[in-house]
């Protein structure tokens, strides 16, 4: 299958569908990977240093932020190998097992980051919208358990990817596919769509719901300090930016690129296939940026402002209770 399929796809690409120019990929991705590797290491080092220096101030989300950094560093360590691969015109010299490990680390980073950003968003929502209900009920132990659940779910979602072939054996130039070889594109597309729904769409809807409600509360409540309000809104903007720039294009064009590969095998070719391929390469670069952008979450996740918000809510609640109690007392006194 591998040899026949590789020859068949090459013939289709060169004749009826036109040759895909991979020169853009071989120049663009290495530059992005090396830039993200350097920037990401520095940013995550400073971010983790800030986290450990302010561990208690981060409150119960400190475990999530720590694991977000671990996921970033895990992926950053794979970038030198990808840099070497694309710089060598997509020639992989490290074997299929290591290729699968590299791609698995990428998936752990991608969906682990999405999972922990979702957890941070939910905690932020509860702290700002329902501070009195959750006060004292959420502990560090809960965060540790949730963190373990996130890693387990991410591994379960990513493990099927390992069973798909990533390289074409006995080929003249071994390739390390980010998805799979042309033999299994149909099956991989079905898996990719389900993966997109579970690993991306559901967390996205949760985050939009949480931060949408947070934005409404912050904009309507007059007893919240403007500085605290701006910091919370910056966090909302940052997470929205991550999803709109880094995550959304990647999931859209990964599936579209798989579909174009399937259509090429069926000898159905369109001029826009090349545009989809280029867009997919750009989206791969954008999703890579999340490892350099994530550390900004450290700077906007300090729980000092949330503790102040909670105190303001508590004061407001007490004032309302005292006022209601005073009215009842006055009414009781007048009856006597």
Going along the chain from its start, the domains and CATH numbers come out as 2-10+21-311 (1.20.1070.10)
Average pLDDT in the 2-17 region? 45
pLDDT per position as a tens digit, 259-269 = 999 998 888 88
Confidence of residue 228 (pLDDT cuts 50, 70, 90): low
Of 200-204, 291-295, 319-323, least confident by mean pLDDT is: 319-323
pLDDT confidence tier of residue 292, bands split at 50, 70 and 90: confident
Q: What is the DSSP letter of 179?
A: S
Rounded Cα–Cα distance for residues 178 and 79 (Å): 13
Mean pLDDT score across all residues of the chain? 81
**Highest-pLDDT range among 68-72, 129-133, 222-226:** 68-72
Angle at 193 between CA 191 and CA 195, to 5 degrees: 65
* The pLDDT of residue 317: 53
Q: What is the pLDDT of residue 298?
A: 66
Residue 232 pLDDT more than 80? no
User: Of the ranges 53-62, 283-292, 312-321, which is most confident?
Assistant: 283-292
In angstroms, the CA 87 to CA 30 distance is 6
Q: Is residue 134 predicted with pLDDT exceeding 90?
A: no
Start-to-end C-alpha separation, the chain: 95
* Rounded Cα distance, 308 and 142, in Å: 22
- Band of residue 195 on the pLDDT scale cut at 50, 70, 90: very high
What pLDDT does 12 receive?
Answer: 40
175 pLDDT band (50/70/90 cuts)?
Answer: confident
Burial category of 333 from C-beta neighbours within 10 Å (exposed 0-12, middle 13-18, buried 19 and up): exposed
pLDDT, residue 83, reads 95
Do the beta carbons of residue 160 and residue 188 sit within 8 Å?
A: no
Helices (H), 163-225: 185-196, 202-220
Query: What is the distance between the alpha carbons of residues 234 and 232, in angstroms, rounded to a whole number?
Result: 5
């Amino acid at each position: 299958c591998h040899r026949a399929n590789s020859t068949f796809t090459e013939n289709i690409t060169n004749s009826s569908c036109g040759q895909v120019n991979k020169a853009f990929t071989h120049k663009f991705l290495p530059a992005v990977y090396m830039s993200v590797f350097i920037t990401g290491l520095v940013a995550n080092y400073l971010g983790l240093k800030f986290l450990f220096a302010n561990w208690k101030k981060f409150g119960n989300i400190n475990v999530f932020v720590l694991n977000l950094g671990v996921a970033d560093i895990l992926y950053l360590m794979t970038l030198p190998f990808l840099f070497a691969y694309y710089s060598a015109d997509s020639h992989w010299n490290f074997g299929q097992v290591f290729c699968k490990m590299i791609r698995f680390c990428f998936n752990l980073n991608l969906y682990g980051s999405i999972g922990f950003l979702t957890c941070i968003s939910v905690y932020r929502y509860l702290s700002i919208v329902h501070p009195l209900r959750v006060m004292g009920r959420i502990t560090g132990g809960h965060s540790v358990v949730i963190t373990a659940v996130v890693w387990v779910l991410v591994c379960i979602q990513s493990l099927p990817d390992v069973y798909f072939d990533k390289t074409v054996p006995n080929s003249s130039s071994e390739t390390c596919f980010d998805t799979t070889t042309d033999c299994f594109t149909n099956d991989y597309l079905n898996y990719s769509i389900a993966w997109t729904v579970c690993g991306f769409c559901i967390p996205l809807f949760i985050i939009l719901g949480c931060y949408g409600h947070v934005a409404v509360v912050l904009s309507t409540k007059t007893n919240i300090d403007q500085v605290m309000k701006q910091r919370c809104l910056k966090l909302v903007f940052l997470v929205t930016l991550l999803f709109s720039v880094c995550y959304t294009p990647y999931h859209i064009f990964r599936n579209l690129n798989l579909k174009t590969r399937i259509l090429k095998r069926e000898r159905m070719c369109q001029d826009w296939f090349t545009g989809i391929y280029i867009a997919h390469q750009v989206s791969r670069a954008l999703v890579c940026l999340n490892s350099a952008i994530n550390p900004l979450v450290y700077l906007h996740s300090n729980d000092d402002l949330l503790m102040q918000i909670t105190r303001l809510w508590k004061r407001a609640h007490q004032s309302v209770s005292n006022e209601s109690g005073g009215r009842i007392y006055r009414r009781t006194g007048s009856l006597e």
